Amino acid sequence: MRTFALTVNGEAVAVEADPEARLLDVLRGPLGLVGSRFGCGLGLCGACAVRLDGEVVHSCDTPIWSAEGREVVTIEGLGSGGEPHPVQWALLAEQAAQCGFCISGIAVTAAALLETNPRPTADDVARALDRHLCRCGVQQRIIRAVIRAGEAA
């Protein structure tokens, strides 16, 4: 066990963990941030997506040691002060989350997309979210929601 210092959703934290522990397990376990989900465990489905120093990563295959001294943003860190992020608001407005299992990773990735491309096309959104699996069949609603969020910002 070792203590790791990092910033999570704007707050400096120190957490004790095995150096090979997955970032996802540390977020969900000792830090109590359960919005990121365990899906495949191989970095293929996107349910666990978070931002690490601004880059979208799959936290299920990111060891905690690689996050030391870095900034992590989870779904819980997108909004602030009870105010949802525009992506979160638009996903709700478009009723784009069915079971909700994949949506936290999608929202984190969509927010990252909008920072670099505030007015994406449907093709831009589809490319950005290509590695996210949603089995509920609401992909078109998700794409509309991300475009809507860009228009609202």
Domain boundaries along the sequence of the chain: 2-77, 86-152
- On the question of a common fold for 2-77 and 86-152, the answer reads no
Average pLDDT over residues 108-122: 97
Res 81 pLDDT > 90: no
For domain 2-77, the CATH class is alpha beta
State the pLDDT at residue 100.
Answer: 87
Contacts of 54 (CB under 8 A, 6+ apart): 71, 112
In CATH, what number does 86-152 get?
Answer: 1.10.150.120
3-state helix, strand, coil in the chain (%, to 5): 40, 20, 40
Each residue's pLDDT tens digit, 4-53: 999 999 999 999 999 999 999 999 999 999 999 999 999 999 999 999 99
